[in-house]
Every structure is written in C-alpha cells, then in structure tokens.
C-alpha cells in the first residue's frame, strides 16, 4: 500500500508541476511508447545479461513481497521466543535427548505446531533444528557453533541481498539508457533538418523525453524498490540473529527465561517486546 502511495505522490508532483508550468502532456504521451521500448527493453536485456538465472528468479520472487506489509512484527517475534523458550525448557527439564523427536521431525512436533507463525517458516525451522541437532550431539562447544552460525547468517545475508543489488545496478544504468534513447532521437532529428521549425521542435522535445524517462525510472521507480527490498531482507537476518543469541545463551548455561531475554535484546526497538510483555506471553502459552 505504501509503495503505491509513494509512487502516486512522486509521479503526481512531477507531472503536476510540469502541467502547472504550461507543459503539454501530449508531447510526452506521443513519445512514450517508442522511448519506453528503447529504455525499458535495453535495460531489461542488460539486466538479463548482468545476472545469473538464480538471481533473476529470486528478484522476480521478491517483487510481490514489496507490496505487502512486513511479516516481522512484534507478535511474530514473541511467538518465536515463546517457541525457543518451550524447546529450551523441555530440554532443561527432561534432558537434551527429549527434544530429539522435535528436532528430527518438526512438522509433526507439538512444539512447532503450537506456533504456526514461525513453525511454518522453513528457513526459521531449519536454522533452529540444525543447531539444536548439534546441541543434542554434544560434540561442539559454544564458540564453534557461534562461528558456524555467523558464517551461515553471513551467507544468508549475502544471498538474500542479491536481488536488491541487482535492482540497484539496474537503477544506475537507466539514466544511461535514457541518454541512448535521446541520442537516437537527436540523430533522427538531424536527418530531418529541412523540416519547418515547429516540426523540428516537436522532434527535439520527443528526443528529450528519453532522458527524462531514464532518470525518472531510475530514481523515482527502481531505486526506491531496491532500498525497500534491502530493508525487508535485513529483518530476516535480524530474526536469525535473535535465534542465534538465544541458543548460545542456553549453551552457556543460562536458564530459558534468561536465554530468551538475550535474544529479545537483539531485536530492533520498533518490534522488540518489553520484558513484561514477553514474560506474560511465554507464561500464557505454557
């Protein structure tokens, strides 16, 4: 919703100012199809050449996410920490082997089923169960697991940000494609120097539309999308950091209630529940 509102404000103000200054919208409308063909077509072709198929697929898959509100809300984080609390509490009371079935088959685990918001997210479930499995095996110390977690989070962060980086590169190239379209228009105009001044003026105006569209698409359309996507992807990494901090605190001997407090402190202030909110939620779910 905010994406559409933002675009409406940007385009409305830009074209509104043009009309208020006495600009003729028909000039832009007449040149729009051919200029867009040159700019968007050239940029799309370069985008395909510049990125591997997996990046193209991930970029397309990320587009619908930009139109939705963030799933990383306070309620989701409270569900996540309640899940971690229940798992760690069970392991503390009954021993690590008691959570082996939950780790090996999370789809049928009562603990993961209890928290659908995070229990249905395969990335989160896989991250939790992988490291719980290592904790159950007992062959790694906290420092080794922390190093492995950092490596996995870094890899996840880099992979998730490839679509945002691809869109940023696309935005950087669009003004140049606008110049290409404008130069083609100028070349066309120079081939018609015998035409009356009114005709030449219209042709030059059409050529300049290419430069305008290239800059507009870059800085009002594509680059804001890249920035928004990067912010949304950062939230995914923050969730993994919360899980990492909680599990490491448990491995170092802290009680489950204290371990989830460690994880709570890693969250952004806008989504971080208070100590009382989290405690009440955990006790209510128990």
How far is the C-alpha of 277 from the C-alpha of 272, rounded, in Å? 10
pTM for this structure? 0.81
How far is the C-alpha of 165 from the C-alpha of 157, rounded, in Å? 12
**Average pLDDT value for the chain:** 88
**Which sign does the torsion angle of CA 228, 231, 235, 236 carry?**
positive
Q: Is the pLDDT of residue 103 over 60?
A: yes
Average pLDDT of 171-194? 84
Band (pLDDT 50/70/90 cuts) for residue 95 is confident
Count of Cβ atoms closer than 10 Å to residue 119 Cβ: 20
Band (pLDDT 50/70/90 cuts) for residue 285 is low
pLDDT of residue 286: 52
How far is the C-alpha of 170 from the C-alpha of 191, rounded, in Å? 32
Two tokens at 148? 């492995």
- What angle separates helix 223-251 from helix 53-66, to the nearest 10 degrees? 90
Two tokens at 2? 């905010």
């Amino acid at each position: 919703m905010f994406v559409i509102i933002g675009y409406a404000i940007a385009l409305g103000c830009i074209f509104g100012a043009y009309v208020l200054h006495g600009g003729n919208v028909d000039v832009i409308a007449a040149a729009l199809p051919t200029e867009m063909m040159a700019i968007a077509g050239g940029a799309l072709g370069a985008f395909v050449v510049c990125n591997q198929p997996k990046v193209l697929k991930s970029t397309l898959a990320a587009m619908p996410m930009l139109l939705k509100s963030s799933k990383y809300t306070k309620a989701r984080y409270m569900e996540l920490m309640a899940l971690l609390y229940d798992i760690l509490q069970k392991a503390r009371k009954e021993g690590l082997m008691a959570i082996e079935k939950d780790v090996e088959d999370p789809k049928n685990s009562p603990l993961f089923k209890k928290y659908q918001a995070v229990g249905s997210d395969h990335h989160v479930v896989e991250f939790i169960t992988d490291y719980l499995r290592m904790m159950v095996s007992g062959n790694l110390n906290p420092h080794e697991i922390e190093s492995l977690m950092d490596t996995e989070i870094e890899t996840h962060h880099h992979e998730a940000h490839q679509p945002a980086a691809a869109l940023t590169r696309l935005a950087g190239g669009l003004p140049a494609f606008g110049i290409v379209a404008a130069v083609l228009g100028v070349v066309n105009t120079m081939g018609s120097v015998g035409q009356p001044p009114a005709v030449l003026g219209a042709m030059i105006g059409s050529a300049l539309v290419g430069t305008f569209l290239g800059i507009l698409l870059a800085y009002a359309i594509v680059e804001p999308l890249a920035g928004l996507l990067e912010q949304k992807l950062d939230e995914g990494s923050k969730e993994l950091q919360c899980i990492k901090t909680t599990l490491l605190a448990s491995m170092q001997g802290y009680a489950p209630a204290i371990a989830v407090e460690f994880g709570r402190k890693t969250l952004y202030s806008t989504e971080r529940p208070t100590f009382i909110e989290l405690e009440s939620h955990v006790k209510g779910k128990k």
